[in-house]
Structure 1
Amino acid sequence: MILLTFNMMNMEAETKNGIQISNEERLKITEDNTKAILRILDIHDIKATFFVEISIAEKCKNLIKAISGRGHEIAFYNKNSSLQDIEQTKKSMQDFLEKQVRGIRQKDLKLPSEDLKLLEFNYISNIDNANILFPLKRLERNTEIVEEEGISIVPESISPYSQLPYNDFVFQMLPMNYYQNMVFETLKNEEFVLIYLNTWQFTDFKKYKFKIPFYRRLFSGRKMEDKLDALLSWINEKELATSRMKDYIF
């Protein structure tokens, strides 16, 4: 099973040469990138899970409604929000969507699973920082879903052959043929492959002068759209099964 997920968040990097990009403009970039992703998903009729960063959820309700209306799952991405903020946003979004928000993703700040269970989340998707050093590491960790305090903990997927994680950086940098082979071989040994990308990777960095490392600019923007399109075409061609997170876990 392929679990395709997207982290919907604003680009927070500084800008070059004193150019100003307001918070409103950053949100507009995020929304435009998300719409580009939705178009590609629609073309291939594949459903995904969108992890919306807590701080922007209330600001893009209409887009979130459109994502949910197309059959995709809405979950949350917690960057640095408090439990109270998460609880308030979860209640507001559930009332708005008239659907339960079951999942939450964490990276740098990892809140206790028992606290998230009290907020009625059903699963936690924990991810790590992704940078240029990842290909140099041999990663050894559990890739199976486990139960903790009555909540499912979903780890990152790792290729058992290359030992590369299926994170945003690896997708952006690897040639698509190699990536596809990695997915295919992993599915022979693992029950699922969890793939995650960030909406900001679809930004046109020639147009928007953010100060980011050169390797993060490579294959971004339209090239990311083309890579996603190629992956989804391959998934359908090989008749590989895909699922939203909540459907697979429950």
Structure 2
Amino acid sequence: MVLLSFDIEEFDMPFEYGKEISFADQISISRAGTIAILDLLDQHEIKATFFCTVTFAENVPDLIERITTTGHELASHGYYHSNFKPEHLLQSKVRLEELSGQAITGYRMARMMPVDEKEIEKAGYTYNTSINPTYLPGRYNNFNISRTHFKKQNVLQIPASVSPVIRFPLFWLSFHNLPLALYKFLAAWTYKKDQYLNIYFHPWEFTDLDQVERFGFPGYVRKNTGLKMIKRMDSLISWMKSRNYQFGTFQEFIGKLSGSNPI
């Protein structure tokens, strides 16, 4: 199963590069990208999981309704994108359930940072997907963690997909920068080995980020964004469908694991 997911959040990434961006722009940019994603998923008639901050959800009630009424899964990405306290785990779950009317069972920490599994369990989540089991200078050093799903503290851990053997990450940055044929090769290798893929992206990738003065992003971040990103994602999904890969939400994936059905 392909677990296609999107971290929908206030677009605060320019702050990491020394740029200012208004809160209104943070919301409007992520809003535009989320609409582009939903349109693409509708076109292909596939379901995905949206990990959402409470801050973003409170500012886009119509999109939260669209996500839930069209059969996608809503999960927690925290209360705020750049501010975390352990109590936010439960608070974000409760608030997102209030806003969506949907049970929130999954969590992904902002920027895939470490999170206390005891606190995840205490907050009542069924699964956590906050691990990128690879090495990325200055960000991750997780070669000692399983590449594939495992249980910890009674919570199912579903790491982001990395290739077998060399653990090359299949996350958003590699999708932007690798030749698409090479990315598809790595995805096919990983899918054949693991029988599923867990790949994640962000709404702002589907907007034009090629404005260095405004956002301050280096070339590897802004490469293939906006319309190019929409076309690449359309190509990836079409290719996966041509290979009869099944798409589903994390909740559906967990249901199949529990029933020991093929994934």
TM category, shorter: 0.7 to 0.9
**Amino acid paired to 1:33:** G
| Cα distance change on mapping 1:141 and 1:129 into 2, 3 Å | closer
What TM-score results when the alignment is normalised by the length of structure 2?
0.83
- Superposed, 1:48-59 pairs within 5 Å as 48-59=48-59
Within 1, Cα distance between the matches of 2:172 and 2:144? 19
Shift of 1:231: 0.7
After superposition, the CA RMSD in angstroms is 2.7
**Amino acid paired to 2:68:** S
Sequence identity of aligned pairs in percent? 27
Unpaired runs of 5+ in structure 1?
none
CA contact (8 A) 1:105 1:124 kept: yes
CA contact (8 A) 1:130 1:167 kept: no
Within 1, Cα distance between the matches of 2:14 and 2:243? 41
Aligned to 1:225: 230
Aligned to 2:258: none
**Amino acid paired to 1:213:** P
Aligned to 1:22: 22
| Cα distance change on mapping 1:29 and 1:189 into 2, 3 Å | same
Output one character per residue of 1:159-201: Cα deviation in whole Å (capped at 9) or x when no partner.
1165311111111111222212222222221121111112221
After superposing the two structures, state which structure 1 stretch, 230-239 or 109-118, moved more: 109-118
- Tell me which stretches of 4 or more aligned residues in structure 1 moved more than 3 Å: 18-21, 127-134, 137-141
Q: Are 2:156 and 1:152 aligned?
A: yes
Within 1, Cα distance between the matches of 2:188 and 2:133? 24
Aligned to 1:68: 68
| Cα distance change on mapping 1:127 and 1:60 into 2, 3 Å | farther
| Cα distance change on mapping 1:93 and 1:121 into 2, 3 Å | same
Within 1, Cα distance between the matches of 2:96 and 2:51? 13
- Superposed, 1:101-250 pairs within 5 Å as 101-106=104-109, 107=111, 109-128=113-132, 141-160=145-164, 163-206=167-210, 209-250=214-255
Within 1, Cα distance between the matches of 2:56 and 2:20? 20
**Amino acid paired to 1:85:** H
Output one character per residue of 1:191-230: Cα deviation in whole Å (capped at 9) or x when no partner.
2111111222122124682111122111111111111000
Within 1, Cα distance between the matches of 2:169 and 2:159? 10
| Cα distance change on mapping 1:62 and 1:46 into 2, 3 Å | same
Shift of 1:37: 0.6
Unpaired runs of 5+ in structure 2?
256-263
